A and B are shown apart, each in its own frame.
Chain A
Amino acid sequence: SQQGEEDPQALSIQEGENATMNCSYKTSINNLQWYRQNSGRGLVHLILIRSNEREKHSGRLRVTLDTSKKSSSLLITASRAADTASYFCATGQGAQKLVFGQGTRLTINP
């Protein structure tokens, strides 16, 4: 079963615009990770945010976490064509498990 629900399921924007994707989850978590998957490839880790953190940055990526609302958002600023991919949140549950959401398909139009 999948824990996280990404919203929107699909997003299409113009190159240079910002893209925001949201992830909601149901149970308590230790941390939350975001992954990117380009077409036909495996997933690549983008960023991890711990449950006691509220915001984290990495290059053009900004992740926020609101544990009271059980939600996280991923912001990609100044989008590029190469950002076209599916983005997944994965929640760390208990001591061992990482559970992935269904993903947001992002398309950057030139």
Chain B
Amino acid sequence: EAGVVQSPRYKIIEKKQPVAFWCNPISGHNTLYWYLQNLGQGPELLIRYENEEAVDDSQLPKDRFSAERLKGVDSTLKIQPAELGDSAVYLCASSLHTGPQYEQYFGPGTRLTVT
């Protein structure tokens, strides 16, 4: 069974440029998560989708970040414009259903460097 797929794995951009990350969750998983992970820290939730609906985006900086999950499968996370402080690893995860009792399956992440 294929795991969570993310691309690209690495991205280097200059500040003020846009960037987009893509995630393909495990087939059949209703819930998709985007996390931000700074160096030496644990993941912090940016947004959670149940199917195609964003049900928790309270931590998403909406002035520059946007996300979508068309048809309730793949998802993209966009930053426009990027700032130096956005340098981090962006992790995508999925779970069969919503709820902290469900195991989350993580992708390898996209390491973003903003120069």
Tell me the A residues contacting B by CB distance below 8 Å: 1-2, 4, 30-31, 33, 35, 40-45, 48, 50, 88, 90-103
Contact = CB atoms under 8 A, between A and B. Distances in A.
B56 to A, nearest CB: 7
B103 A33 contact: yes
A2 B42 CA distance: 8
25 contacts: A1-B44, A2-B42, A2-B44, A30-B100, A31-B101, A33-B100, A33-B103, A41-B109, A42-B4, A42-B93, A42-B108, A42-B109, A43-B43, A43-B91, A43-B104, A88-B42, A94-B100, A96-B48, A96-B99, A97-B45, A97-B100, A98-B100, A98-B104, A102-B42, A103-B40
B41 A2 contact: yes
Contacts of A2: 41-42, 44
B98 interface: yes
Secondary structure of the A side of the interface? strand
Secondary structure of the B side of the interface? loop
Interface of B: 4, 40-45, 48, 55-56, 91, 93, 98-101, 103-109
A14 B105 CA distance: 30
B102 to A, nearest CB: 9
A92 B100 contact: yes
Give the residue among A50, A91, A92 with the most B Cβ atoms within 10 A: A92
A97 B58 CA distance: 12
Contact of B42 (A30, A50, A93, A100): A100
Contacts of B91: 42-43
B106 to A, nearest CB: 3
